[in-house]
Amino acid sequence: MNTTMILIAFLVAVAAIAWFLRGRSGTAAVSRQTANATVRTKRKVIVEERTKYLVAFDLDNGDSESLDVDPSIFDRVREGQRGTLVYEETRCLSFEPERA
């Protein structure tokens, strides 16, 4: 009986360590992505007295992304503008317009 309890405790400890390590590597898996894109729409949304700046991009691969942007990026972009988009999850990190 005593050996069984030790074995169960050991297996629980191993499972907990594996769960912890898998969870930590999952949070580090967020990757920065770069794509050619066109600005579809831009809008300001007020949420709890705070302004949120959103821009929808159409990516060249056919996907579209609606991303949070900094006010400086929001003020710079125009609908229909093409360029290089760098983003992470739901956040636009930069948008560099193509030169005419």
Are residues 26 and 48 both part of a single domain? no
Are residues 51 and 68 both part of a single domain? yes
Query: Residue 9 pLDDT > 80, yes or no?
Result: no
Are residues 41 and 68 both part of a single domain? yes
Query: Residue 100 pLDDT > 60, yes or no?
Result: yes
Are residues 50 and 86 both part of a single domain? yes
pLDDT bracket for residue 12 (50, 70, 90): low
pLDDT at 36: 97
Are residues 3 and 19 both part of a single domain? yes
Q: How far is CA 2 from CA 7, 35, 45, 52, 98, in A?
A: 9, 59, 62, 59, 71
* Nearest residue to 31 via CA among 93, 92, 87, 84: 87
Domains held by the chain: number: 2
85 or 47, which is more confident? 85
pLDDT tens profile 28-53: 567 899 999 999 999 999 989 999 99
Are residues 61 and 89 both part of a single domain? yes
* Domain of residue 63, CATH code: 2.40.50.660
Query: Residue 25 pLDDT > 60, yes or no?
Result: no
Domain extent for 44: 33-97
Are residues 10 and 39 both part of a single domain? no
35 phi and psi angles, rounded to 5 deg: -150, 150
pTM for the model: 0.68
Q: Give the DSSP letter of residue 90.
A: T
Are residues 13 and 45 both part of a single domain? no
Are residues 25 and 73 both part of a single domain? no
